[in-house]
Amino acid sequence: MPRIAYGRIAQETNTLSPVLSGVEDFRRTHFLEGADLLARTTSRWKFEAEGMARNAELSGFAQEAERRGATLVPLFSAWAIPGGPLTAEAMAYFEERLDRELRAAGPLDGVMLSMHGAMAAVGRVDPEADLQKVVHRAVPNAKFVVTHDLHGHLTAEKVANADAIVAYRTNPHRDHVRTGARAAEILMRTLAGEVRPTVAWRCLPLVLGGGLNIDFLAPMRGIYAFLTKLHRDPRVLTASIYQNHLWNEAPHAGWGVYVATNDDPALAEQLADEIAERCWAVRHEQPPAIPSPSEAVKEAREAVWARRAGVVCISDASDMVGAGAPGENTGLLAALVNEGQGLVSYAPVRDAEVVAALWETPLGERVTVRVGGKLATAIHTPIEVSGTLADRKVTAAFGRALLLDLGHVKLIVTEGAPLAMKPAFYTDWGLPMRKADIVVVKSLFPFRWYFLPYNRKTIYAGSRGTTDFDVWRHVSFDRPVFPKDPVKHWTDGVRPAR
């Protein structure tokens, strides 16, 4: 039986964030090792990632590989919420540990590594490709497959240093398990001599298009349906598109296409071109205009039926912690405080200084503090709020936190980045959804699934922050890209390596 090692080093990095990410950020979110990783990924009844997903890529991979006769060798799984670039020390730690564990694992026939695809690190151009190189140096004869988020950046180094790459095909993402299982199938069939992956890829001069980028809505629905059709073709091992991570200012960024066929390079090239054409055809479908915080609050006030039947979710589009923002933007919070009278709103803000200053204050006491705007000071501004200190907690995800009752606004102040993505972020504080008119989320897409029982209207609000949709205007790309530049066709800007 083939011996297969598997693990994860994953973070979606926002290079605009001033807060660097260390190993402790991974340990705080998700860090599994050895026997614990094996137990959590080979059982359908255990959580692979507490608080994130019952089963994800590693569960899909491990269970499918085991079903096909593999002997599993668990490495480690490190997964951090989106944030700023990894420190040099964190990157060195992961390289050293990955190398050490692979060399200590004994003879290996294959390796699987789950990564995001848009991780950045201080002093590195392509850190995930660097991790792939570690695998090749440690076990040069092993077959190697990688899984990615579809918001990754496809590069020549990533493609060259993997036998196959499998990316998500849903947005909001809900095919983690299927992605891992597909990677296992390709790896096991490759080791058995049943298939020989032949790869073609494209990096398009396109950084923003496709409307809302949701897989089951136009204009992306047809493209994802085509990918699903391709996966039914026995000649095709995998086909993916990469829709770019806007907030990772990589000069090489752009939509990507990846196709792996079974020993058929001509077919791979043909399909890569066809998928690229389909992606290029939706480039003019830009995301809808995003209202200001004041406009968003006004729109929520007018959505009477939505508020009576549930809640209005306002996504803080300029401060999405789920896309790596620090979570301290006060633009939307100020609008809720100053213009949201008569509406009960739940909102978070990050401010470690305020948490520290009020930590010993008796509950029930009236306080006045200036919150937010203390990390990315060039773009974020603190605001003054007054209210009652209602509760305090120590959380695993974002450290110490306080609940300030400002009257119509219930404000959760956190030490770390407040990933307000699930109703539990608020209900754990005794803030029921039935009493809220507006609930602020710090997420782009995933909140839609978690808030499905309550959300009756979604509004994206933009002020100025580290997840603005127009950041591409300020990036120095290594070639002309659309919509920043008037590129006529995707082949005009494709790199020679394709």
- Measured between alpha carbons, how far is 162 from 129 in angstroms, rounded to an integer? 9
Kindly state whether residue 318 falls inside one of the protein's structural domains. Answer: yes
Q: How many domains is the chain partitioned into structurally?
A: 2
* In a shared domain, residues 112 and 244: yes
Percent of the chain with pLDDT over 70: 99
Do 302 and 276 share a structural domain? no
Looking at 254, 280, 306, which one is the last position of a domain?
Answer: 280
| Separation CA 403–CA 387 (nearest Å) | 10
Q: Region 230-251: what's the mean pLDDT? A: 95
Residue that has been written with the tokens 């800007």 in this structure: 493
The string over 411-435, giving b where at least 16 C-beta atoms fall within 10 Å of a residue's C-beta and e elsewhere, is bbbbbbbbbbbbbebbeebebebee
Residues 305 and 194 grouped into a single domain: no
Write the DSSP assignment of 399-432 as a string of letters: EEEEEEE-SSEEEEEESS-----STHHHHTTT--
Match 């011996």 to its residue by tokens: 3
Domain-located, residue 481: no
Question: 243 in a domain, yes or no?
Answer: yes
| Mean pLDDT, rounded, for 406-410 | 98
In this predicted structure, what is the pLDDT of residue 495?
A: 53
Structure tokens given for 479: 């070639």
Domain end: 215, 245, 280, which one? Answer: 280
Whole-number pLDDT of residue 497 = 44
- Three-class secondary structure of residue 441 per DSSP: strand
Same-domain pairing of 275 and 373: no
The confidence band for 494, taking pLDDT boundaries of 50, 70 and 90, is: low
In-domain check, residue 457: yes
Rounded to 10°, the helix 34-42/57-67 angle is 80
Same structural domain, 268 and 303: no
pTM: 0.94
83 part of a folded domain: yes
488 falls within a domain: no
Per-residue model confidence as pLDDT tens digits over 354-406: 999 999 999 999 999 999 999 999 999 999 999 999 999 999 889 999 999 99
The model's pLDDT over 59-82, given as tens digits with 9 standing for 90+, comes to 999 999 999 999 999 999 999 999
| Residue 421 belongs to a domain | yes
Same-domain check for residues 221 and 318 = no
- By mean pLDDT, which of 136-140, 187-191, 489-493 is the weakest? 489-493
- DSSP H helical ranges for 289-423: 293-302, 304-309, 331-339, 352-358
| Same domain, yes or no: 297 and 275 | no
Is residue 486, in this structure, part of any structural domain at all? Answer: no
Strands (DSSP E) found in 263-371: 311-316, 345-350, 366-371
Q: Are residues 91 and 210 in the same domain?
A: yes
Query: Do both 174 and 305 map to the same domain?
Result: no
Domain that holds residue 163: 3-280
Quick one: 273 and 299 in the same domain?
Answer: no
* Whether residue 340 sits in one domain with residue 272: no
Give the integer Cα–Cα distance in Å for 189 and 315. Answer: 43
Q: Name the helix (H) or strand (E) containing 377.
A: none
If asked whether residues 208 and 316 sit together in one domain, one would say no
